[in-house]
Every structure is written in structure tokens, then in C-alpha cells.
Amino acid sequence: MHLTRAVLPGMVAHGRGHVVNIASATALVSNPNMSVYAASKWAVMGWSDSLRQELERSVTGVRVTTVLPYYIHTGMFDGLRSRVIPILQPEDVARRILRALKRDAVFLHMPGIVRLLPLLRGLLSTRALDFVLNRIFGVASSMDTFKGRDGAAQDLREPGGGRS
């Protein structure tokens, strides 16, 4: 946010530019053992989309894309297990972001199944959504073997813990 606020006046003055905010699929659903992380990603998504609407309403020429990826293999989530959805590779994520910018995408969901999360959240009761995500997709247990970097695992396993 601070970087965007610093460079945005120049983009607006030039009548063009593109802000890319990396949120997470966690911005669309809750995930146990990641409460602080989830809160920061929900905040990024809300701020990013509000900024997009403000810039479009003011006809600035500056675009905003919000990226909502599943786990990316960067080391941050070392030890994590994903039962159904494969962990994303950084190079593929970077290529997909560049393609999204070329087509002026508002949101980039990775993988595509992440796009279904808001629909499921709207159609299913909270307990039914918990069942689908946790029993079928294994979201609740994905962090059980988490190691992370620099002792992050302990922080994330404490109730209400996590790093943003």
C-alpha cells in the first residue's frame, strides 16, 4: 500500500500504469492455523478492489489487478501438504500474472478452481462449505506438516497466530 501510494500520483499524471496486488485464495475462505495471514489477505483484496474502482471512476488510465493464488512453492509454506490442488510454481505464477496484465484482468485466480470459492460461499451454509473444503479438499489439514521458514511454523500453530 505504501509503495502504491508513493508511485500512484506519477501513474495518474501520465494517464497510465498498472498496480498488481498479490493477495491469496485465503482471501476468499478461512483457513485454520492461518488467522493473521488470512486477515491480511482479506484486507489486501478489499483494498485492491476498492482502489480499482476509485481509479476507474476517476478515469485515470491506471489499472489494478488482484492476484488470488493457491499456495506457491516459494519456501514460505515448506512442509505443507495439498491433497487435491497442486502447489503452484513461481515461474508459472509470474507468466500468468503477465498474461493477466495484457488482458487487463481485474482478478487472477490460480488455479481456475479458486474462482469457484465465492460461488460456493454464497450457495452453501458455512458448515457445508467447511465440510467441502476440509473433508474433501483437505484445507484444514494442509498446515499439519507445515515447517515454513525461520520458525514460522510455531507462530502459525498457536491459536490466532500467523505472520502477515
Q: Which of 37, 70, 77, 107 is catalytic?
A: 37
Task: Reply yes or no on whether 70 is catalytic.
Answer: no
* Cell numbers standing for residue 101: 496484465
* Pair 33, 77: CB distance under 8 Å: no
DSSP assignment letter at 61:
S
- Which residues fall within 8 angstroms of residue 103, CB to CB, at 6 or more apart? none
- Please classify residue 85 by burial: count the beta carbons closer than 10 Å to its beta carbon, then call 0-12 exposed, 13-18 middle and 19+ buried: middle
Task: List strands edge to edge, sheet with 107-110.
Answer: 17-22, 62-69, 107-110
Which residues are tagged catalytic? 37
